[in-house]
Amino acid sequence: MARPLVNVPARARPGEIIEIKALIAHPMETGFRTGPDGALVPRDIIHRFLCTWNGQEIFSADLFPAISANPYLAFTALATQSGTITFRWIDDQGGAQVHSVEITVA
Amino acid sequence: MTAPHPTIPPVASRRTVLALGTGALASLVVRPAAATPEALRAAIAEFTKGATAQPGRVRLDIPLLVENGNAVPLTVRVDSPMTAEDHVRRIAVFNEKNPQPNVAVFHLSPRSGRAQVSTRIRLGDSQIIVAVAELSDGSLWSAQAELIVTLPSCAED
Interface ipTM: 0.93
Which chain A residue has its CA at the smallest distance from B154's CA? Answer: A33
Which chain B residue has its CA at the smallest distance from A53's CA? Answer: B111
Provide the chain A residues 1-60 that lie in CB contact (below 8 A) with chain B.
Answer: 17-18, 30, 32-33, 53, 56-60
- Whether pLDDT at B22 is above 90: no
- The confidence score (pLDDT) of residue A66 equals 93
Distance separating the N- and C-terminal Cα atoms of chain A = 34
**Bridge partners of A59?**
A51
**Is the separation of the CB atoms in A78 and A12 below 8 Å?**
no
DSSP string, chain A: ---EEEE--SEE-TT-EEEEEEEE----B-S--B-TTSSBPPPB-EEEEEEEETTEEEEEEEE-TTBPSS-EEEEEEE--SSEEEEEEEEETTS-EEEEEEEEEE-
Please give the backbone phi and psi of residue B59, each rounded to the nearest 5 degrees, phi first: -120, 130
Q: Is B98 helix (H, G, I), strand (E, B) or coil?
A: coil
DSSP string, B140-156: EEEEEEEEEEEE-GGG-
Interval B122-130 mean pLDDT: 91
Query: What does the pLDDT look like over B90-123, one tens digit per residue?
Result: 999 999 988 889 999 999 999 999 999 999 999 9
Chain A positions in Cβ-Cβ contact with residue B99 (cut-off 8 Å): 30, 32, 65
Beta carbons within 8 Å of A46's beta carbon, 6+ residues apart = A24, A26, A28, A63, A67, A71, A89, A90, A91
Shortest CB distance from B119 goes to which of A56, A57, A73? A73
Interval B114-140 mean pLDDT: 93
- Whether pLDDT at B154 is above 80: no
For chain A, residues with pLDDT lower than 50 are none
Amino acid at A62: D
Beta carbons within 8 Å of B94's beta carbon, 6+ residues apart = B40, B43, B44, B47, B101, B102, B103, B129, B130, B131, B132
- The confidence score (pLDDT) of residue A5 equals 94
According to DSSP, residue A15 is labeled T
**Is the separation of the CB atoms in A34 and A99 below 8 Å?**
no
- The confidence score (pLDDT) of residue B33 equals 39
A76 in reach of chain B (CB within 8 A): yes
Q: Are B105 and A68 in contact (CB < 8 Å)?
A: no
**Is the separation of the CB atoms in A51 and A87 below 8 Å?**
yes
- Whether pLDDT at B25 is above 90: no
Chain A positions in Cβ-Cβ contact with residue B70 (cut-off 8 Å): 68-69
Interface test mutation site (partner B, options A17, A62, A72, A89, max chain B beta carbons within 10 A): A62
Q: Is B92 helix (H, G, I), strand (E, B) or coil?
A: strand
Q: Are A66 and B106 in contact (CB < 8 Å)?
A: no
- Whether pLDDT at B28 is above 70: no
Amino acid at B117: V
Please give the backbone phi and psi of residue A28, each rounded to the nearest 5 degrees, phi first: 50, 55
Give A50 to chain B, closest Cα distance, Å. Answer: 9
Please, which pLDDT band fits residue B19 given cuts at 50, 70 and 90?
A: low
A14, exposed or middle or buried, with CB in 10 Å at 0-12, 13-18, 19+?
exposed
- Whether pLDDT at B40 is above 60: yes
A73 in reach of chain B (CB within 8 A): yes
Query: What does the pLDDT look like over B48-67, one tens digit per residue?
Result: 998 889 998 999 999 999 98
pLDDT higher at B45 or B13: B45
Q: Is A28 left (phi over 0), alpha (psi -120 to 50) or beta?
A: left
Please, which pLDDT band fits residue B26 given cuts at 50, 70 and 90?
A: very low
Q: Are A72 and B117 in contact (CB < 8 Å)?
A: no
- Whether pLDDT at B24 is above 50: no
Chain B positions in Cβ-Cβ contact with residue A58 (cut-off 8 Å): 109, 111-112
Q: Is B84 helix (H, G, I), strand (E, B) or coil?
A: coil
